[in-house]
Chains A and B, each alone.
Chain A
Amino acid sequence: MNKETKTKPIAIELDQSPGQSKGDVVKEEKGHGKCLMSRRDFLFASGVTTVAMISAGPGMAKVPAMVATYPRKLVAKLSQLKTDKPIDFQYPDKGAYSESMIVKLGVEGGGGIGPKKDIVAFNYTCTHQGGDMSGSYKGDTKSLGACNLHLSTYDLTRHGILISGQAYQSLPQVLLEIDGDNIYAVAIFGLIYGRVDNLEA
């Protein structure tokens, strides 16, 4: 599996004027709109995007920008997933802290997909100080952790929010899409530990 369709960075033009939200100006890549739309739904169409953003002041009408987008990667088959049995994968690349997991929770979760909206995926790296939490999934509490460095725990039914612990933000959630029996990772919600940008490994 793991067939990858990595998208190369593309250059687009930002036509940014004061008062216009940043998200509205990003042109979606042709043929890949589904990915961006699902992510935008996820973000309440709030104007935050996954792509590199440019700060432009008034008077800077047209700014050329390099916009990198997430790869669309096959990470699991719907028919393969069993409740509370996570499957590991790497995303968005094979660099540091790309280790991630997909799990069928058996109960509906925030951002969940599938017929029961219970399939979610998360990065494995603790957003406190980079502890590796692979293998720490708990079926009874639908959680990841405790991280063995400083004991942080995360609720996978609630977008990876911190249950108890010291992390500086929620666990990055890997956004998923279903196409037939195939489940694709298409983006990440939240910055992965250790990185400056999710797409710079």
Chain B
Amino acid sequence: MATPYYIPETNVPLPPKGAEVITTACDYCIVACGLKVYRWPVAGNGKGGPKAKDNAFDTDFPVDPLGPWVAPNQHNIVLHEDKPHHVVVIPDKDAKFVNKGGDSSLRGGCIAQKVYNPQSPTRDRLKSPMVRIFGILQPVPWDFALDIAAAVGNHVIDNHGANAYGVKTYSYQYLENTYAITKYALRHINTANFTFHDTPSDVSSTPGFRDAGFDNFGPAYEDWMNAETLLICGTDPYETKTILFTQWIMQGIQNGQKAIFMVPRRTAGVAYAEKNGGLWLDVNPGTDLLVVNAIARIIAENGWQDEEWIKNWVNNKWGSSSGFGQGTRNTPWQWRTTWGKFQTNGYDDWKKWLLAQDEFKLANASKVSGVDAKKIRKAAEWMAKPKGKKRPKTSIMIEKGFYWSNNTGNTQAISALGIIVGAGGRPGQVIGRAGGHQRGGQRGGKYPRNKSPMKLPGRRRRALDTDTYTMSGHTRLAHVIGTTWIQSMCGSQQLAKRFHELTVANPHQVRSYDKQDIIDTLKKRADSGGMVVVNQEIYLVDPIGNRYADIIFPAATWGEEDFMRANGERRLRLYQKFYDAPGEAKPDWWIIAELSKRMGFEGFDWKNSNEVAEEMSRFSRGSRKDFHQIKVAAKREGKTLHQKMREFGTNGIQGPVFMTEDGKLEGTKRLHDTQRKLSVTGPEASNVFNKKLTHFNSQTGKCNIQKSPWSLFSDYWEWMKPRGDELWCSSGRTNERWQSGFDDRRRPYIVQRWPDNYVEIHPDDAKKRGIESGDMLMVYSDRVPSLKETILGVEGSDYSFSGQMKAGNVELTRAAVTGVAMVTRHIKKGMLYMDFLHTQQPANALEGRIVDWISGNYNYKMGTAKVKKIGESPYKHTFRTMSFAPRDIT
């Protein structure tokens, strides 16, 4: 095994005066920092000088701290209109929002290394369509690949039904693409076998927020700064949405904000908060609900709740379950609540329930969660105890560490806590998600829930679980777009085994030079119970593309096409094209359009991404990203939508966007803004004033305060919790690596930092097992639970984990993943932590492939595993690669 090393450049070309400046935003985390691309031709040997008069920044070098320095990783060479050009990509030093003054993380800071350059490790970008012929993916012309995909696709739909055509896609790689993909999959194919990259079923990620009436992304970034107490659950924003922390929360902490982190790892943001008077609630995996409800209980017992807010903004029985409530209509909210497990008649009813649950008593919550009772009490005081008549301004932020362990329970509990402390609807008093990826979803069709075979008690349907459905052999064509699918889902290794059986182990393999022969073979594969895989990607992904795909479509991405997208405060920007996509790679909207036309679907005659954007704008109306009025304004001014978006530069505009009486565009700072005064003339023409602007997302516009019983989840938690020498095994992002590492694996510096997956383990747990930092570990389990068939049941209780176990629908399987030991003080004792999406060493293999039986999401963050040393990694005794120092140094 070679040790990766990286030799830094020691000088870098500066953009000369006259270099073109193109605005865009970062491709990675939810924050989407504004960036500027400086581009100038290689021909002519033009290069800026260190004097202000000689460079495009008008700045003397060396620059001041925070200045427009160009690190060597911020330079690259690209083809633009087929001619070599230098590009320097740095955060926009003029940014007024988001990354004010030009801050950036390591990820976005080095994004110049992402762009295709055949002299860099990006050289393996997919450059032409391919078809697997005689077992090898071989380049073919677009027509050849598209004709095959269209013919087989139509055959599958005609002979096996629309649900046999599975579409597994990213939800966020730009509005134009997601619109085209969902128009194709949901409106035209109309398949229920459809979901996004992070969930087996197309369901709400935060069911409790949905029920309470909270939008996931209502808050403005300034609210996180302006809160006096901020509870952050299941994430360290410093690690995973850096600028949200460094530009906003960190400023808040410096202004005296009390930051409370509820996470099992003490990473840099947590350590910073603690150093500045904050609090770390070091919760055991899966026990967040107990801590949240213990806090709520202390608040309720002491009468610290926000009475005024509750009186004005919380539904009573009339508002939530009868009369003006949602009634008996078939909504996700309703089929969860009709069991009577969640809904209440208002605050008093909720309080009565809360106080009657012994498991929420402080002593018990502290014992099970492993969080010191004193800290829980302190959190309750900080969040709600009034000083005299003044209440603290409290906000609550959640993310996946929290909502992907007890998905329904945790999100219900935190919503109720948010409601009683008055979070939501006022400056500095908000509740929302921190966010993971950016918000680039725009539906071009409606999910056909009625076509899903997944039924819940009362004959109600839930979105189809595409993993179980595929495991059961019902997916005959899997169209996979921009996701690894397998490693991103729980029980990854079982999924991989099944994919293998359905594809390469099927007898019908392409061994022909003739297009019609190839089509016929793949049809036979589908008819025989096998599966055909079409994969749309920027790189060849292992195994979905590399091993299983029959057809590969090469996609163009960031910087290679004009695209629109929003960030975590709904800020819409145009991400501009600044260089040529490699080879024949095409944007996903184009690929989908070409496929659709061949399959006989109408409405896919777009000539460019702006035409897609202009078509979809009306479907955004009423949504948190509503940008329709930008198009209206553009047309009035004789511009295209993209041209108008370009004018907003890196500052963009926050959705929903309105047009005021005098024709100006106005954005929305925060949703549920109870203090906002809307135009008195109200909505006119295509202006939409959605309820969420000034109220909450419920029938009445008030919040629903709901119960969150531990008992609906405790059977699974008790069964999962470590036995013998097992440890909890959780996973998540690390600052330096984004998603599957599709770019980071091709950045020498990041490969040097994180060459393999790692396994964080507490020094006490490590010592017991004879493990030292740098050892190569085997992390394994003999009891990864997995659903065998689509859930079977009649009564509500049949659907619980115990019910499914009793019915024999849970299979226990083995899983094994290797990783490099990182013995560290920053992780809680009793648990392991790995990178969540290392494609070679997928931590999700160890997570139970059991959906949250109420919501349909996976609880990714709470597997269990054994761990043992199998040798030493090459990084243990060498100095160039990895670091084993803790992440909590302040």
Contacts and interface: CB of A to CB of B under 8 A. Distances in A.
Interface stretch (B61-69, B131-139, B215-223): B61-69
Interface string A62-95: 0000000000000000000000000000000001
B840 interface: no
B309 interface: no
A162 B8 contact: no
Interface stretch (A24-32, A150-158, A178-186): A150-158
B7 interface: yes
A2 interface: no
Interface in A9-68: 43-44, 46, 48, 50, 52-53
Contacts of A191: 8-12, 71-72
Interface string B63-93: 1111101111110000000000000000000
A153 B103 contact: no
A163 interface: yes
Contact of B66 (A50, A129, A155, A198): A129
Contact of A198 (B10, B239, B736, B753): B10
Given A164-B267, A165-B106, A194 B63 contact: yes
Interface in A146-201: 146, 149-151, 153, 155, 157-159, 161-170, 188-198, 200-201
A192 B272 CA distance: 26
Secondary structure class of chain A's binding surface, majority of residues = loop
Interface stretch (B338-346, B687-695, B878-886): B878-886
B14 A168 contact: no
A156 B599 CA distance: 59
Interface string B749-781: 100110000000000000000000000000000
Contacts of B104: 166
B280 interface: no
Nearest to A42: B7
Contacts of A157: 879, 883
Interface in B262-281: 267-269, 272
Interface string A112-125: 00000000000000
Interface in B461-508: none
B67 A197 contact: no
Interface of B: 5, 7-12, 14, 50, 61-67, 69-74, 103-106, 109-110, 238-239, 242, 246, 250, 267-269, 272, 735-736, 749, 752-753, 878-883, 885-887, 889-890
Given A146-B890, A166-B106, A155 B62 contact: no
Contacts of A109: 879
A127 B749 CA distance: 13
A146 B887 CA distance: 10
A44 B2 CA distance: 14
Contacts of A189: 8, 10
Given A129-B103, A168-B73, A168-B110, A145 B879 contact: no
Interface size class of A (residues with CB under 8 A): 35 or more
Contact of A161 (B62, B103, B105, B752): B752
Which of the listed residues B109, B250, B268 has the most CB atoms from chain A within 10 Å of its own CB?
A: B268
Contact of B8 (A149, A163, A190): A190
5 contacts: A97-B62, A146-B268, A158-B880, A162-B106, A198-B11
Contacts of A151: 238, 246, 250, 268-269, 272, 890
Nearest to B63: A194
Contact of B10 (A132, A138, A197): A197
A169 B887 contact: no
Contact of A162 (B9, B65, B242, B736): B736
Given A132-B65, A161-B882, A162-B883, 4 more contacts: A161-B753, A164-B887, A168-B74, A196-B11
Contacts of A153: 268, 885, 887, 889
A149 B251 CA distance: 11
Given A146-B268, A194-B67, A163 B62 contact: no
A97 B61 CA distance: 11
A163 B773 CA distance: 14
Given A46-B7, A130-B64, A194-B67, A143 B106 contact: no
A46 B239 CA distance: 34
A96 B62 contact: yes
Nearest to B238: A151
B889 A146 contact: yes
Nearest to B113: A168
B61 A196 contact: yes
A-B interface, 9 closest residue pairs, ranked by CB to CB distance from nearest: A110-B879, A130-B65, A194-B62, A168-B71, A155-B883, A164-B887, A96-B62, A190-B8, A197-B11
B883 A158 contact: yes
A128 interface: yes
A164 B884 CA distance: 11
A100 B580 CA distance: 42
A107 B62 CA distance: 34
A194 B735 CA distance: 24
Contacts of B242: 150, 166
Contacts of B103: 129, 150
Contacts of B62: 95-97, 192-196, 201
A104 interface: no
A155 B736 CA distance: 15
Contacts of B269: 151
B267 A169 contact: no
Contacts of B885: 141-143, 153, 155, 163
B88 to A, nearest CB: 12
Contacts of A48: 7, 9
Contact of A169 (B63, B73, B890): B73
Nearest to B105: A166
A161 B67 contact: no
Contacts of B110: 168
A169 B753 contact: no
B67 A168 contact: no
Given A164-B268, A169-B73, A200 B61 contact: yes
B50 A196 contact: yes
Contact of A168 (B61, B64, B109, B878): B109
B261 to A, nearest CB: 14
A163 B50 CA distance: 31
Contacts of B268: 146, 151, 153, 164-165
B109 A128 contact: yes
Contacts of B753: 161-162
Contacts of A170: 8, 749
Nearest to A120: B879
Contacts of B887: 153, 163-164
A162 B8 CA distance: 13
Nearest to A142: B885
Q: Which of A141, A164, A190 gathers most chain B CB within 10 Å?
A: A164
Given A155-B883, A167-B106, A194-B69, A188 B272 contact: no
Given A159-B880, A196-B50, A150 B73 contact: no
B764 to A, nearest CB: 18
B10 A50 contact: yes
A68 B447 CA distance: 65
Given A143-B889, A162-B753, A165-B106, A150 B65 contact: no
A129 B65 contact: yes
Nearest to B102: A129
Nearest to A48: B7
A57 to B, nearest CB: 10
B263 to A, nearest CB: 15
A127 B9 CA distance: 13
B5 A150 contact: no
A153 B268 CA distance: 9
B887 to A, nearest CB: 4
A154 to B, nearest CB: 9
B441 to A, nearest CB: 28
A189 B63 CA distance: 20
A193 B70 CA distance: 9
Nearest to A112: B879
Contacts of B880: 110, 158-159
